[in-house]
Structure 1
Amino acid sequence: MDDHIFLSYSNNVQRTLPPKNRKHPEYESKGFQYRELVPETIGSDNLREAVKLPPGVDINEWLAMNTVDFYKQISLLYATLEEFCTPTTCPVMNVGRYEYRWADGITVIEPKMVSAPEYVECLMNWIETQIDNEIIFPKNPGEPFPSNFEDFVKRILRKMFRVYAHIYYSHFIKIVTLNEHAHLNTCFKHFLLFVSEFQLVDKEEMAPIKDLVETVLKP
């Protein structure tokens, strides 16, 4: 079983993803007094072309290489926030009313509520385990990828998106204070353009920060 997204209400009832087009007032009011800072990126003019599959390159090789790169990027970005994203400041892994519960389907079967730092730590360890598994990510040239390799990539990138969403929702003010917002925006734009190019993260998964996604992807 994979982890799940829950929508929390004041009466503590938990429900799954809300209907499409539902408004998210917390998101719209929290963040986006910083809306003018979101488009600021570093040297990202060619990102739309950079994500496209190069001629003659195997699609699985391209997915694998970029997945590993995105993992390194998000690891470094989150590391700058570890002292600010704590079990006290972020007792739940959430983006506004959307809550993410952790499960890896192996050691943790039933999705459980954890703090944001615990969720991210579990996620990074899990991604590293996936990447180090040579059956999933073959290391030697010419070795075959599993027939369902894209499914592994989708699951990794879907979970990775949640870390970006949490950073923007809960920690963007701190990112601006640290003067790291241009770098964050560049990494996120690269990530979004790539997953959009190959349809690797569903629109429903992006719903908690739908407005931000649309702003970043705007030509």
Structure 2
Amino acid sequence: MTSATKTTSLRRNRPGTKLEDAYQFEHIPLEQFDSAFALQEYLQSLIRKDKENLDQLVELPPGQDEETWQYEHLRQLCLELNYLVVQLETECNRETCPEMKADEWMYLCAAHQTSMNCCAIDYIVHTLDGATTLLNSHKYFPSRISIPDTSLKHYQPIARRLYRIFAHAWFHHREIFESFEGAIDNYKHMIADRSQRKQDFSSKAKPW
């Protein structure tokens, strides 16, 4: 067994691993990851190491492509937002939130042939499904090593719509937003990542 193979095998949860013991891997440099998803695993390792160190989380690793690094951040946000959605479903429904709003702003759902008004939870689910499907599309993102220039135009709309999920939770489900483990860190992470690239969400719905 080579050292690279050994390192890879040690970074897998064994069958029967308890939740509290999962992912207890030592953080290693990016070049030591022996995986087709090395950049994703490296980002997740950084988050587990110190999720509050935003400068470190968004800093471009040496030798990496900025567009690919940003792609991994968007994919990670989609993964983590699913946990927030599970908690939102306990009180966000067609009756309590018949429209997708963030304070005085109302948003139409772009998941349909023609943009239409969806209740907030449907908008959120449609948005996450759409973003995940797009980011996993081999047509637009055929490789996780290099991003085609023609696909970069999708980053801003994806980020803007994901931001609205945070905004809705902040303004209309504040207790869930603040109690959800990682929600605030994820939000700050997203703002830091977009700010570093000097891209704006074009929205006033910023809780800080």
1:58 to 60, 65, 75: 65
Deviation at 1:155, TM superposition (A): 1.1
Structure 2 gaps, min length 5 = 1-48
Deviations 1:174-217 (A, max 9, x none): 344xx32x521111111110111113433x2x31x24x2xx3xx
Q: Distance in 1 between matches of 2:176 and 2:126?
A: 23
2:82 paired with 1:79: no
In structure 1, the residue matched to 2:189 is: 190
- State the AA in 2 paired with 1:118: D
- State the AA in 2 paired with 1:57: Q
Relative distance call for 1:158 and 1:124 in structure 2 (3 A) is same
Deviation at 1:44, TM superposition (A): 4.3
In structure 2, the residue matched to 1:169 is: 171
2:102 paired with 1:95: yes
In structure 1, the residue matched to 2:159 is: 157
Q: Distance in 2 between matches of 1:102 and 1:126?
A: 11
Aligned length, in residue pairs: 160
In structure 2, the residue matched to 1:137 is: 141
Whether the 8 Å contact between 2:68 and 2:144 is mirrored in structure 1 is no
Deviation at 1:50, TM superposition (A): 1.9
Whether the 8 Å contact between 1:93 and 1:99 is mirrored in structure 2 is yes
Whether the 8 Å contact between 2:52 and 2:185 is mirrored in structure 1 is no
In structure 1, the residue matched to 2:20 is: none
Relative distance call for 1:69 and 1:167 in structure 2 (3 A) is same
Identity %: 22
In our comparison, the structure showing a higher alpha carbon Rg is: 2
TM-score, with length taken from structure 2: 0.70
Deviations 1:123-177 (A, max 9, x none): 1221122022112222464xx422133211111111000000001011112344x
Larger helix fraction of residues: 2
Structure 1 gaps, min length 5 = 1-41
- State the AA in 1 paired with 2:153: D
In structure 2, the residue matched to 1:12 is: none
In structure 1, the residue matched to 2:53 is: 46
